Structure 1
Amino acid sequence: MQAAPGRSAGPAHQTVTSPSAPKPFGKRLAGVVTMLGSGLSNQTGAAIGSLAFPVLGPIGVVAVRQYVAAIVLVAVGRPRLRTFTKEQWWPVLLLALVFGTMNLSLYSAIDRIGLGLAVTLEFLGPLSIALAASRRRVDACCALIAAAGVVTLMRPQPSTDYLGMGLGLLAAVCWASYILLNRTVGRRIPGVQGSAAASGFSALMFLPVGIVLVVEHPPTAGAAAYALAAGVLSSAVPYLADLVTLRRVPAQTFGLFMSVNPVLAAVVGWIVLGQSLGWTEWAAISAIVAANTLSILTTRT
């Protein structure tokens, strides 16, 4: 599985051993703890950012988040833009567009249907990429389980917000596109320069939004603080945590913990925002998480 939204794929990790290096178990345990903290940070940041929606709206919060992500990624990646060729530029610009659209659709979905359901629908993006690349029967079963979860979430009800559901699915499509584009960028541009450049251009696209908000609807100090916290907790912290995690745990373990994000989102939404879910929603979330978990556990590495 790929990194969560707001993050970007880091450089391939290398295992370095030395006499003073921690034992494998200790390294793996540290990686697991880091992954758990990263997931909680990501979802808590989204929850805190939603507190600024009444003042800034989802687009204003996303703009601030994009600024923070750009600052972190550009500082780490230090892209050499003058050396980029035409073949390198087009996937970078597409990645920038997808990056911004993904976060905007996700936060707009959170505003309408809540954190847990929005993140669960968005998670269908990487899950679909993983299942589509397989021809195993077990993955066909996983796809059916996930589909059953989606049908349950989107079943017709008087209170069903289909626009919010649609925005969550748009975020899923964007995340899937983000994964594919990141692979292309990673093959054509060394290190994280491509991802850093894409993040920077995505932030530039949201610059007019920030100017309009400041001029026409000056944000309160509280709303600005919430949006900034969302940027730090959902972009900066998870990205840096992933750089540490990928050096300590196998990719399979990383994927398993990524699959827990919908559950973390539902729990954080309940605790921080008071967004409770019924047993049918919990069953649907569990089905989608179980489909991903089963697919990963049965994959031969």
Structure 2
Amino acid sequence: MHAASATSPASAPAPATAQHAPAAPMTPVPEGRRAAALLTLLGSGLSNQTGAAIGSLAFPVLGPLGVVAVRQYVAALALFAVARPPLRSFTRAQWWPVLLLALVFGTMNLSLYTAIDRIGLGLAVTLEFLGPLAIALSAARRRIDACCALVAAAGVVTLMRPQPSADYLGMGLGLLAAVCWASYILLNRTVGRRVPGAQGSAAAAAVSAVMFLPVGVVLAVRNPPTPTALGYAVAAGVLASAVPYLADMFTLRRVPAAAFGLFMSVNPVLAGLVGWIVLGQNLGPVEWAAVGAVVAANALSILTARR
């Protein structure tokens, strides 16, 4: 999702590959509307990564924990406004995967934003992207997918190669975000079967926001946020949660699943570019090659997938 990536709750269930992306619409879509949908999807990725970059500007005041808390509040408000889940009518069988989803959702964003604080946006998002990529490749049985897995693994080894300045805790947090994103995808399948529409994701976002509410109160009392820092955190919530959620709802009705997955795979590249332009986080040629290997592995798996 994610990304998240700085992943939005709506987009996280649709991982990076065609095998697990939501089914494409059966009715033909005019080329003009399809092109508009693809541009919207590209804008969604840029919004997602820009939101994460802007949120990191509030780290000196709020820290990653405070920024994630505010983002959870914004995500809950956005999803609730669209889905309006009837929480009182949820059964026990519906509640337990929703609660697990909320826990994974909060952990995913917290580990990702902490990783961004330590190793930069581009590397953190690339490591997180391994979650959905691993799920897709593990379900495949083709030789080309095994080659894609090896290419992605080579990229990861390159990113995590020993060097004096290596921040292994930050890298570990990025991998934790990947595990959480993979778990989020699997849990969303269960929630999707038991709760209609986006109501499950909305309920999980609400529970996660409630979990972070004491954190937000404590941080606000101990270190009152400045209006600027709070504005950065709110902007991160809007750009990395609300905008991608609405954009993905528009896009998934108008493009094939493979196209959706292919565009999702460019998020690590977008993260690297946004990190460079907005935050001045420069990736070296070796790091860019490793990011490119991970993206290429996903793209190759999608483009060669059997119809």
Q: Into which bin does the TM-score normalised by the smaller protein fall? A: over 0.9
Give the aligned partner of residue 240 of structure 1: 246
- 2:262 is aligned with 1:256: yes
Matched residues in 2 for 1:170 and 1:78: separation? 30
Letter paired with 1:201: V
Q: Secondary structure at the match of 1:135?
A: coil
Give the aligned partner of residue 6 of structure 1: 8
Q: Structure 2 residue aligned with 1:50, among 48, 56, 69?
A: 56
Letter paired with 1:32: L
* CA displacement at 1:284 relative to structure 2: 0.3
Give the aligned partner of residue 183 of structure 1: 189
Give the aligned partner of residue 177 of structure 2: 171
Give the aligned partner of residue 229 of structure 2: 223
* CA displacement at 1:60 relative to structure 2: 0.3
Q: Is the 8 A contact 2:9 2:205 kept in 1?
A: no
* CA displacement at 1:213 relative to structure 2: 1.5
RMSD: 1.6
Give the aligned partner of residue 62 of structure 1: 68
Question: What are the superposed Cα offsets for residues 123-161 of structure 1, whole Å, 9 maximum, x if unpaired?
Answer: 000000000111111100000000000000000000000
Q: Secondary structure at the match of 2:85?
A: coil
Give the aligned partner of residue 35 of structure 2: 29
Matched residues in 2 for 1:277 and 1:15: separation? 42
* CA displacement at 1:268 relative to structure 2: 0.2
* CA displacement at 1:209 relative to structure 2: 1.0
Letter paired with 2:9: R
Q: Against the structure 1 CA distance between its residues 281 and 159, is the aligned structure 2 distance closer, same or farther, given a 3 Å change threshold?
A: same
Q: Structure 1 residue aligned with 2:111, among 105, 113, 120?
A: 105
Gaps of 5+ in 1: 18-22
- 2:153 is aligned with 1:147: yes
* CA displacement at 1:247 relative to structure 2: 1.1
Q: Secondary structure at the match of 1:96?
A: helix
Letter paired with 1:160: A
Displaced runs of 4+ in structure 1, greater than 4 A? 1-4, 9-17
Q: Against the structure 1 CA distance between its residues 74 and 15, is the aligned structure 2 distance closer, same or farther, given a 3 Å change threshold?
A: farther
Q: Structure 1 residue aligned with 2:206, among 200, 206, 221?
A: 200
Q: Secondary structure at the match of 1:92?
A: helix
Q: Is the 8 A contact 2:25 2:255 kept in 1?
A: no
Matched residues in 2 for 1:143 and 1:86: separation? 38
Give the aligned partner of residue 20 of structure 1: none
Q: Secondary structure at the match of 1:123?
A: helix
Matched residues in 1 for 2:85 and 2:79: separation? 9
How does 1:86-97 map onto structure 2 within 5 Å? 86-97=92-103
Q: Is the 8 A contact 1:145 1:291 kept in 2?
A: yes
Give the aligned partner of residue 19 of structure 2: none
Gaps of 5+ in 2: 15-21
Q: Against the structure 1 CA distance between its residues 2 and 110, is the aligned structure 2 distance closer, same or farther, given a 3 Å change threshold?
A: closer
Percent of matched pairs sharing the same residue:
77
Question: What are the superposed Cα offsets for residues 23-61 of structure 1, whole Å, 9 maximum, x if unpaired?
Answer: 621111001110111000000000000000000000000
Q: Is the 8 A contact 1:2 1:255 kept in 2?
A: no
* CA displacement at 1:6 relative to structure 2: 2.2
Matched residues in 1 for 2:242 and 2:23: separation? 19
Q: Against the structure 1 CA distance between its residues 252 and 14, is the aligned structure 2 distance closer, same or farther, given a 3 Å change threshold?
A: closer
Question: What are the superposed Cα offsets for residues 236-263 of structure 1, whole Å, 9 maximum, x if unpaired?
Answer: 0000000001011111000000000000
Letter paired with 2:153: A
Q: Normalized against structure 2, the TM-score is what?
A: 0.93
Would you say how many aligned residue pairs link Structure 1 and Structure 2? 296
How does 1:97-136 map onto structure 2 within 5 Å? 97-136=103-142
Per mean C-alpha deviation after superposition, the further-off stretch among 274-283 and 78-87 is: 78-87
Letter paired with 2:186: L
Letter paired with 1:7: P
How does 1:245-284 map onto structure 2 within 5 Å? 245-284=251-290
